[in-house]
């Protein structure tokens, strides 16, 4: 019976019984079985983001937001949230993840007066008609992270405006004066050329 089955299947089909089992697919090595019965992949969030463990990590208040209580008075800020065009997929169409903070710059007494004046000049395009400085953030899909990013922007603006300008050296001042003289000389030369061209186009009417 076995001989008849061997002749009917042919040597190729029969040789399959004698071959060793195929090697394990290398792709399956990418995934491994963790301890217990739960499946654990090397592409799991615990592997890709080892510092973000726990279900409440995404909603945890960042350290930047906690630091704001000491250097930025949150009660003096107007904080609001709206729909975001940043990351988050369809989630951004359902929740208000974009953060916006605004405060009146002229009456912000928690910022030094010279710093406020410099901020008003440097960031005048972020101040509305009411004198409110408006900052937004939509880098993340979570409200608290975007709020922390807005507060960090305020700190960076204050730190930038607090820096005293560096006094130029004598060599830098002389070089700057030479550059200004050369620019003025070139500007006057182009004006003379343009004036000569216009004069040559003029037609004398008898």
**C-alpha to C-alpha distance for 50 and 44, rounded to whole angstroms:** 10
Residue 26 scores a pLDDT above 70: no
Q: For 70-116, write each residue's pLDDT tens digit.
A: 578 888 899 998 888 877 677 767 788 889 999 999 999 889 899 99
Residue 169 scores a pLDDT above 70: yes
Residue bearing the bigger pLDDT, 124 or 10:
124
**C-alpha to C-alpha distance for 102 and 99, rounded to whole angstroms:** 10
Q: Per DSSP, what are the bridge partners of residue 39? A: 33
CB contact at 8 A, 99 and 68: no
**C-alpha to C-alpha distance for 66 and 149, rounded to whole angstroms:** 12
Find the mean pLDDT for residues 152-173.
Answer: 89
- In this structure, of 22-36, 140-154, 168-182, the range with the lowest mean pLDDT score is 22-36
CA proximity to 151, closest of 102, 206, 97, 200? 102
């Amino acid at each position: 019976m076995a001989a008849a089955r061997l002749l009917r299947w042919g040597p190729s089909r029969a040789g399959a019984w004698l071959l060793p089992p195929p090697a394990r697919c290398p792709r399956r090595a990418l995934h491994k079985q963790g301890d217990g019965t739960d499946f654990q992949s090397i592409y799991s969030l615990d592997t890709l983001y080892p510092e973000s463990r726990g279900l409440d990590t995404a909603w945890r208040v960042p350290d930047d937001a906690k630091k704001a209580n000491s250097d930025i008075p949150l009660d003096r800020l107007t904080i609001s949230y709206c729909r975001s065009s940043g990351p988050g997929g369809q989630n951004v169409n359902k929740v208000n993840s974009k953060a916006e903070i605004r405060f009146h710059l002229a009456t912000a007494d928690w910022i030094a007066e010279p710093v406020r004046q410099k901020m008003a000049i440097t960031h005048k395009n972020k101040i509305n008609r009411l004198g409110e400085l408006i900052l937004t953030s939509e880098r993340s899909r979570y409200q608290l992270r975007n709020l922390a990013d807005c507060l960090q922007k305020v700190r960076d603006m204050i730190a930038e405006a607090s820096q005293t300008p560096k006094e130029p050296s004598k060599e830098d001042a002389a070089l700057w004066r030479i550059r200004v003289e050369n620019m003025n000389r070139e500007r006057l030369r182009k004006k003379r050329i343009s004036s000569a061209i216009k004069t040559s186009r003029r037609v004398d009417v008898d």
